Amino acid sequence: GFLPDVERIITMLPPKRQTMLFSATMPGAVISLARRYMSQPTHINATSPDDEGTTVKNTAQYVYRAHNMDKPEMLSRILQADGRGLAMIFCRTKRTAADIAEQLEKRGFASG
């Protein structure tokens, strides 16, 4: 995970600072990190009262299953599709994300 990286960065910061921590989820390790390094942390949940955990209505989600070796080619074809708009690609690990980003960049796509 990313927690060791975040902790290393935090130890390099000056003692007097404003710290904001954003996370899509708040697992126990992230809460512990906030308590350890933040002064009087406040948890803000950014959902509307009627939110039932559903996707925003104007966001379309698609799931494609592919063998690992076929994923860069499949992603390239999806990204080249007419009228596709913006895309967000999720990976299980940082290493996989870096590999996919590198392969997409080699194919002429911006990533980051």
- The larger pLDDT score, comparing residue 26 to residue 53, is at 26
Please tell me the predicted confidence (pLDDT) of residue 48.
66
Quote the CA–CA distance of 82 and 85 in Å, as a whole number. Answer: 8
What does the block give as tokens for 9? 């960065």
Residue 35 confidence (pLDDT) above 70: yes
pTM of the model: 0.48
Q: Give residue for tokens 């996919």.
A: 100
Q: Which two tokens stand for residue 36?
A: 């350890």
Which amino acid appears at position 5 of this protein? D
DSSP string for 1-25:
--HHHHHHHHHTS-SS-------SS
Tens of pLDDT along 80-103?
Answer: 988 777 788 888 888 988 999 999
pLDDT at 56 over 80: no
Average pLDDT, the chain: 83
Is the Cβ–Cβ distance between 87 and 79 less than 8 Å?
Answer: yes
